[in-house]
Amino acid sequence: LDYYFSQIATQQHLNVFNEVFVDSAKKQAVSVQQKIDNGTAGKLAGMVIGIKDNILYKDHITTASSKMLEGFISPYSSTVVTRLIREDAIIIGRTNCDEFAMGGSNETSYYGTVRNAADTERVAGGSSGGSAVAVQADMCLSALGTDTGGSVRQPAAFCGCYGLKPTYGRISRYGVIAYASSFDQVGPITSSVSDAALLLEVLAGADENDSTVSRLPVPDYLAALETTSPKKIAVLKETLESEALDPDIKAAILQAIAQFKAEGHTIEYVSFDLLDYLVPAYYVLTAAEASSNLSRYDGVHYGHRNLQAENLNSLYKKSRAEGFGEEVKRRILLGTFVLSAGYYDAYYQKAQQVRRLIRDKIEALLVDFDVILTPVAPTPPFKIGENIQDPLVMYMADIFTVLASLTGVPAIAIPLGNNKLGLPLSLQLMGKHFEEGALLSLSKSFT
């Protein structure tokens, strides 16, 4: 634990942790040590974990990296934190992220940008950028992020880590600050496949506090890693042919495909003609859900309150105007618009229909194949400030990750080494619903 504290202290410039839980982590370490000594320690005994600052931990502050929740003390713990602690993991602190998990570069955080440890002039990715750099820079063994449209996978890819977004409904969302509830999932960011398998095993499974969690039994993912059977892999052709794809990423992926073939897996290039609809459908639907979820932050029930307001209406307005950042406001406005009478049919309903179409197509593909392969992000980590002024450029960069989020299937980002500048490259695999085991076992090929 002291080692990780010192790693954090000497790398403050990366701006990874919004808070280090020094006292509670030390206390936990003492009690875990006692359990280890008397042989009663849990599966994660002593694993030091960072949690994204939108995951509730009782009696600790949670802010979603927003001024809106500055100083908010969680009255209860999320199911994921409860399960980590039950298995004797040590929670070292809460990591910086994009405000309310809205962003792909950690530049929308009220607490400032996170820097990539591979090149401090570049972004960490987002929205779970702090969690990814925490693992990359050895400030904890692994970390939890949340993934609505790529926020575990893309920062993991930018930081050379594994990032797993489980099937929608595999892990409880109880006590996780909502962005878009029909997309949000918690996922681990780790430096090894086996840590991801172990964490998934601990976190997954039914929860009486979240009715969207599946009652399917949780497999022994770690044991399943030992057995690999030949898999049928579909490569989405258009994603590799995309002009926006960085040539080094493409070359690394082609090499990975050759390796899969050499290991006896079947590779087939298939066409996916709905690529252009992914980003629009994702942003219409998530903005709509966000505008509804974030209506609770009114300065009365929750959140920052303006104390000068002369009446209730102006209290709402001023509190929200001051509490939310620019990107969050943009999405609330967009979401309110697409849900409003007269536009609902044209945008929200249409996007739901498109989502269904995409889901049907992917599920049909996953009848013939075990796994779908695409890049995670079109580029390696970009420069801080390079894209943030243009929301459309930012949104388009999510093109490969939102597919799994729209369809609810599990997906993993797998690190594939670095380019000439030392920037991490990566690959994404998507699997059938609730078949995370196949993704984990294929990931073993690259360790």
**Which 8-state DSSP code applies to residue 87?**
T
In the complex, the smallest distance separating the C-beta of residue 109 from ligand GLN, rounded to whole angstroms, is: 12
Site string for ligand GLN, 164-193 (x = CB under 6 A): ---------------x--------------
Neighbours of 59 (CB within 10 A): 10
Which one of 147, 195, 248, 370 is in contact with ligand GLN (CB under 6 A)?
147
Which one of 74, 151, 319, 443 is in contact with ligand GLN (CB under 6 A)?
151
SS3 425: strand
Neighbours of 263 (CB within 10 A): 12
Is 127 catalytic? The answer is: yes
In the complex, the smallest distance separating the C-beta of residue 12 from ligand GLN, rounded to whole angstroms, is: 25
Site string for ligand GLN, 20-59 (x = CB under 6 A): ----------------------------------------
Number of residues that bind ligand GLN (CB under 6 A): 13
Neighbours of 222 (CB within 10 A): 18
Neighbours of 271 (CB within 10 A): 9
For residues 399 and 279, the answer to whether their CB atoms sit within 8 Å is: yes
In the complex, the smallest distance separating the C-beta of residue 236 from ligand GLN, rounded to whole angstroms, is: 19
Q: Which of 151, 172, 319, 443 is catalytic?
A: 151
Q: What is the chain's length?
A: 447
* Residue 65 vs 190, nearer CB to ligand GLN: 65
Amino acid residing at 170: R
Residues 379-408 that bind ligand GLN (CB under 6 A): 398
99 near ligand GLN, rule: CB under 6 A: no
149 near ligand GLN, rule: CB under 6 A: yes
Which one of 64, 85, 102, 284 is in contact with ligand GLN (CB under 6 A)?
102
How many distinct helices (H) and strands (E) make up the chain? 16, 13
* Residue 147 vs 370, nearer CB to ligand GLN: 147
In the complex, the smallest distance separating the C-beta of residue 380 from ligand GLN, rounded to whole angstroms, is: 16
Amino acid residing at 115: R
SS3 268: strand
Residues 229-288 that bind ligand GLN (CB under 6 A): 286
Is 211 catalytic? The answer is: no
- Per CB under 6 A, which region of 99-107, 337-345, 362-370, 382-390 contacts ligand GLN? 99-107
Which one of 93, 103, 205, 410 is in contact with ligand GLN (CB under 6 A)?
103
SS3 302: coil
* Residue 299 vs 424, nearer CB to ligand GLN: 424
For residues 123 and 113, the answer to whether their CB atoms sit within 8 Å is: yes
In the complex, the smallest distance separating the C-beta of residue 148 from ligand GLN, rounded to whole angstroms, is: 4
End-to-end, the C-alpha distance of the chain in Å comes to 26
Structure tokens at 26: 């030390």
For residues 298 and 316, the answer to whether their CB atoms sit within 8 Å is: yes
For residues 215 and 166, the answer to whether their CB atoms sit within 8 Å is: no
127 near ligand GLN, rule: CB under 6 A: yes
Q: Which of 65, 74, 127, 142 is catalytic?
A: 127
Distance CA 336, CA 217 (A): 38
β-bridge mates for residue 372, sequence order: 234, 430
Amino acid residing at 141: L
- Residues forming the active site: 52, 127, 151
Residues lying near ligand GLN in the complex (CB under 6 A): 101-104, 127, 147-151, 179, 286, 398
